[in-house]
Amino acid sequence: MSFAEHETSAFVAQTLSELGVEVSRPTETSVLGRLRGEGSGPVVALRADIDALPIVEESGVEFTSERPGAMHACGHDGHTAMLLGAAAELVAGGVPAGEVRFIFQHGEELAPGGAREMIDAGVMEGVDFVYGCHLWTPLEFGKVAAVPGDWMAAADFFEITITGRGGHAGLPHTAVDTVACAAELVGSLQHIVSRRIDPLQPAVVTIGSIHAGDAPNVIPGEAVLRGTSRSFAPDVRSRIPELIEEIGQGVCAAHGATFALNFVFGYKPVVNDAAATEVVRSVVDAELVDLDPIMGGDDFSAYLEQAPGCYAFVGAGGAFPHHHPRFVIDERALAIGTQMHIDVARKALG
């Protein structure tokens, strides 16, 4: 899983070395491969994320995870396979000039993400063009989306702690009920998007985890809620934690409880460069489709702050959504994604 990809990164490093790619380890669980041409030229970076999710797998595939509670439920195993395949083809075909960098990034699924560490380690120094792609099951196999401008939302994360006073379930007047407070707070937080944010500005506030108590006849003294917010506009992004704080303090005060917020700004929005996106679109050997921006997030945005680039979606249509225990991809999509890495690199190298 995120920041613990020791065996995965070791496998990637060994595979690249066997291909003849120059290998370094920017961080403990990531890999950078470099393929240099004989002459000077552009530097093109290709990125794949390699981490899994804390999910118990129920996919039933023959390569089901052997590590309990860890699953490739977002396609990152496919991303890794595609970039390794592209590396093999680019080595075989050679790079006449310039350089291709293969970035195998750790920790995409856990904010603040591994991309920042990779950048701090220097993987983007001198890069002229950066490209990555995501297998996307809501998109049918055989289709590719590469869209300029706003593409994926900023992804931020928060934890709320409600502190009350525990007590007997049959004597609620002697306690401060954190469960009742948490239930009201979840509903109240939905008013941030529906009533406090401009309806023409996309935003999401989701509570994904609630924990309070362990017994049916005990009022717990503490409730912990964890969630995420998504947005594009910087002013909306900065406003959301202010509104969570305002609403949380009010709701908890009404119940006699106290409220504490730990808000972590995670990934900035993924904004594709128009010229770089046109390069990607020009090499797509599949049905090219336009999609609306999505509220999912990805720390590929950090690379786009360092160099012009594009993050594309490769259709891998499946019956279950990303981050689902039964998530699977249409593996035919791997060939399309691999070829896109190869063709984008060659095109960007000129």
Residues with active-site annotation: 51, 108
Q: CA-CA distance, 186 to 158, in Å (whole number)?
A: 13
Characterize the bridge pairing of strands 129-136 and 287-289.
Answer: unpaired
CB 265 within 8 A of CB 172: no
Q: CA-CA distance, 59 to 64, in Å (whole number)?
A: 7
Q: CA-CA distance, 198 to 192, in Å (whole number)?
A: 10
Residue 302 — φ and ψ, nearest 5°?
-65, -35
Inter-CA distances, 132 with 61, 204, 303, Å? 26, 25, 10
Q: CA-CA distance, 82 to 50, in Å (whole number)?
A: 11
Smallest Cα–Cα separation from 156: which of 6, 256, 265, 33? 265
Q: What's the first-to-final CA gap in the chain, in angstroms?
A: 37
Inter-CA distances, 264 with 130, 153, 190, 229, 240, Å? 26, 15, 19, 10, 12
Q: CA-CA distance, 253 to 251, in Å (whole number)?
A: 5
Q: CA-CA distance, 200 to 193, in Å (whole number)?
A: 10
